[in-house]
Amino acid sequence: MRTLRLLVLACSFVWPAAAAAGPLQDDLVARRARLMERLGPESLAIFWSAPTRVYSWTVNFPYRQDSNLLYLTGIDQEETILVVAPGNGRQREVLFIRERDARREHWEGHNLTPDEATAQSGITTVRPLKEFEPFIAAILSRRPPQGGEDDESEFAEALKAHRARISLMLERQADLSAPLGPVRTFAALLRERFTGFVVDDVTPLVHTLRQTKTAYEQDVLRKSVAISGEAHRAGMRAAAPGRHEHEVQAAIEGLFRQRGASGWGYPSIVGSGPNATILHYRAGSRRMEAGDLLLVDAAASYGGYTGDITRTYPVSGSFTPEQRRIYEIVLAAQDAGIRAVRADVSMVEVQTACEEVIRAGLFELGLITDPGGQQFKIWSTHGFLHYIGMDVHDVHTTRVLQPGMAFVIEPGIYVRESALDDLPNTPENAAFIAKVRPVVRQYNNLGVRVEDSFLLTAGGLERLSESVPRTIEEVERFLQTGK
């Protein structure tokens, strides 16, 4: 019966939007149908677009839509609101967009018309943004909203019975004294003015839907990572002693745009020499020297989806013995993680498989003295897995892997002598430091991370970023030949 209801919901939205048919629109319709099935007829959900962000005084950052609204509508325009009401007789989904303004369009560009919004989203009921508050007020006052009344509204009946739900993506609240975010403020206003409902958090439901990628999403993600892989190869060709980090970054990000991506999925990290040990290095200003390792963490945003790829390679074309030893440990750790992946395995188990290799390798080099404890975290300072999708650190509600989930495996080792100076002053640490410092100086300022994007399917694990050289032999061959 649940499957039948889902099919009925999906069909009820497809036929009016036939003019907006297409793979994306079909997928958006199905996404909203799944959301409505899980919400149930006694809920009404509201989703807001992301606000604009100021870069400097009168200049804004390039606009980035809220991922959850983008997931449900495909609309990448600010001042947009989606209302989803599965229990309504006719208006189960209503999109509110700002009205067109010729003067504003002269300054900022074209605004979507209602027909264009329908064509992008598959939502047939599109109304001016100014009607949003009256629309909600009418529903909660049990009055007909402007434009007509849904004659068979289970939500209205639930309001009368005081069992309706208003489902919102509530911001996390740090403490009681922290100011309320805009969505929580809206919820408080509703509670002050209307009755018959409770407010609940729809975030886990939406995140659950987003975590498992549809076939359409998987194809877009494959394309996105393919662009990123080509860009990494362009960056490898641009790297050489005497060049600057930003030249490699320019080669990578220029290719993103050439291949149709909107830009980067996250700010690129291009760090050479000691900068390779800085996890979120951004400056890109250093001149690369012969013998340097270059760590590049970059990926494109294409169709709203981003992968995540990191490669570390010698700008001179060949690894030194010290660089090779560290790289071999990191690569072996990733291989161990890959072998551990299968359906129903938790990310913790995959992380543990990687960690065991890191521990053993660092102990063999003499960078730690205890292969069974947590010393390895001095040199391996971040987790090795996270989900990817519309956000590079994508949302999730479970850490158990299932077909349709996309994620990275990214072990890393970063040797910085200054890390020893940050350890608490204890007798145990003093003994540890005395023993490992000579080895640390041998490997000082070496940072290595190997990161690939993966998709778990019913047929097994797919390495989406396989086009980027990964093994020592592949990396050196590509650097020396360009292919």
Instruction: Look at the alpha carbons of 347, 331, 335, 261 in this order and tell me if their dihedral is positive or negative.
Output: positive
- Token output for 259: 């291949």
Looking at residue 144, what is its pLDDT? 75
Q: Which residues contact 416 (CB under 8 A, 6 or more apart)?
A: 274, 277, 444, 445
Neighbours of 482 (CB within 10 A): 9
Question: Is the CATH number 3.40.350.10 carried by domain 2-209?
Answer: yes
User: Do 2-209 and 215-481 have matching folds?
Assistant: no
Cα 373 from Cα 355, distance rounded (Å) = 10
Looking at residue 206, what is its pLDDT? 98
Looking at residue 273, what is its pLDDT? 98
Averages of pLDDT over runs of 10 residues in the chain (483 residues) are 42 40 94 98 98 95 97 98 93 96 94 97 97 96 70 87 97 90 97 97 98 98 98 98 98 98 98 98 97 98 98 98 98 98 98 98 98 96 98 98 98 98 96 98 98 97 98 98 93
Cα 299 from Cα 267, distance rounded (Å) = 9
Q: Where are the domains of the chain?
A: 2-209, 215-481
Looking at residue 379, what is its pLDDT? 98
Looking at residue 3, what is its pLDDT? 44
**3-class secondary structure, 39:** helix
- Scored b (16 or more CB within 10 A) or e, 72-111 reads bbbbbbbebbbbbbbbbeebbbbbbbbeeeeeeeeeeeeb
Regarding the domain with residue range 215-481, which homologous superfamily does it belong to in the CATH classification?
Creatinase/methionine aminopeptidase superfamily (3.90.230.10)
Looking at residue 378, what is its pLDDT? 98
Cα 404 from Cα 218, distance rounded (Å) = 8
Looking at residue 151, what is its pLDDT? 55
Of 397, 396, 399, 402, nearest to 344 by C-alpha is 402
